[in-house]
């Protein structure tokens, strides 16, 4: 699914090309954009021209000191940084995805890039508003949408995990269970879902996997695991009191944010 806008990302960043390819790559990028423009005009599609250079401030972030105090997290998590530290890349991705449920006001949340030294296991330190991290594969491959519904928040709350602590394979099981309940005209609940699954934590802490209980699971697991998702995370941020969908009556988060 896409928003009806074609985005050309060719030749955006000079750092992505070799030293001898500048002129030919620039020509290719212009030809590519011209082709997209002519093709899109015949389809009545708007063409967006992206900024080709990353802001200097985003490059400078790589010199920031790394956060300490996360030795309890597996090395593959605490040393993985996001490709969405570049605002141009996140903007291009957002132009081609349905992130929010129909009818939901997207201004109630802010989708934000992360810094060059930010990891998915980090907490709120220094942030002025509540936020949580999400992986882009959740929306592209599994069609998760924001805001999370009561079923999703209930599963995260009972497991006591933040959204990015749950492995994408397990998000797939959660989505499949929701569709199964819909087909049977049943209301999915966190308790009924976790009747069929048990949690498999890891030490040191990385991603939590859900495994079907023996002789009781109603869904088959994925035959192949999600790969290449680790560097595709960004922030979803909310202003305090602006959109209380993620807060209960006592203003407590209805699922772990970090």
Give the 3-state DSSP-derived string for 77-144, with helices as H, strands as E and coil as C.
HHCCCCHHHCHHHHHHHHCCCCCECCCCCHHHCEEECCCCCCCCCCCCCCCCCEEEEEECHHHHCCCC
Closest by alpha carbon to 205, among 236, 161, 145? 161
Contact 246, 236 (CB under 8 A): no
Q: Which residues pair with 133 in a beta bridge?
A: 235
Residue 171's region, left for phi above 0, alpha for psi from -120 to 50, else beta, is alpha
CA 68 from chain center: how many Å? 24
pLDDT values of the chain reduced to their tens digit, one per residue, 258 residues: 434 333 333 333 333 334 444 444 444 344 343 433 444 433 444 434 444 567 777 777 776 777 777 677 778 887 888 999 888 889 999 888 888 888 887 777 889 998 887 888 888 887 778 899 999 999 998 999 999 999 999 999 999 999 999 999 999 999 999 999 999 999 999 999 999 988 877 777 778 888 888 776 677 766 567 778 999 999 998 876 566 788 888 888 999 998
Distances from the Cα of 253 to the Cα of 197, 231, 241, 243, angstroms: 24, 26, 12, 12
Q: What is the pLDDT of residue 189?
A: 96
In this prediction, residue 21 carries a pLDDT of: 41
In the three-class reduction of DSSP (H, G, I as helix; E, B as strand; rest coil), residue 169 is classed as: helix
pLDDT score recorded for residue 200: 79
Structure tokens at 148: 């999370």
pLDDT at 18: 41
DSSP secondary structure code for residue 182 in this structure: H
Specify the pLDDT at position 223: 58
Alpha-carbon torsion 87, 89, 90, 95, what sign?
positive
**Domain locations in the chain?**
1-52, 54-246
Residue 4 in tokens: 């009806």
Q: What is the pTM of this model?
A: 0.72
């Amino acid at each position: 699914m896409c928003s009806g806008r074609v985005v050309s990302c060719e030749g955006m960043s000079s750092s992505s090309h070799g030293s001898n390819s500048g002129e030919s790559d620039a020509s290719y990028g212009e030809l590519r954009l011209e082709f997209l423009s002519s093709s899109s005009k015949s389809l009545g599609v708007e063409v967006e021209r992206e900024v080709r250079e990353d802001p200097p401030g985003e490059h400078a972030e790589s010199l920031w000191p790394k956060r300490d105090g996360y030795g309890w997290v597996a090395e593959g998590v605490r040393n993985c940084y996001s490709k969405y530290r570049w605002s141009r890349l996140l903007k291009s991705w957002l132009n081609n995805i349905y992130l929010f449920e129909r009818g939901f006001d997207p201004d109630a949340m802010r989708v934000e890039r992360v810094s060059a030294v930010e990891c998915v296991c980090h907490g709120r330190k220094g942030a002025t508003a509540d936020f949580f991290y999400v992986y882009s594969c959740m929306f592209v491959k599994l069609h998760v949408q924001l805001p999370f519904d009561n079923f999703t928040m209930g599963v995260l709350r009972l497991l006591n995990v933040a959204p990015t602590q749950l492995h994408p394979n397990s998000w797939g099981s959660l989505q499949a269970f929701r569709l199964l309940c819909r087909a049977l005209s049943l209301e999915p609940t966190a308790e009924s879902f976790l009747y069929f699954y048990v949690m498999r934590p890891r030490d040191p802490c990385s991603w939590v996997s859900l495994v079907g209980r023996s002789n009781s699971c109603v869904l088959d697991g994925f035959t192949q695991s999600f790969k290449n998702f680790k560097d595709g995370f960004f922030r979803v941020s909310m202003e305090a009191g602006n959109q209380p969908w993620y807060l209960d009556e006592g203003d407590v988060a209805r699922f772990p944010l970090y």
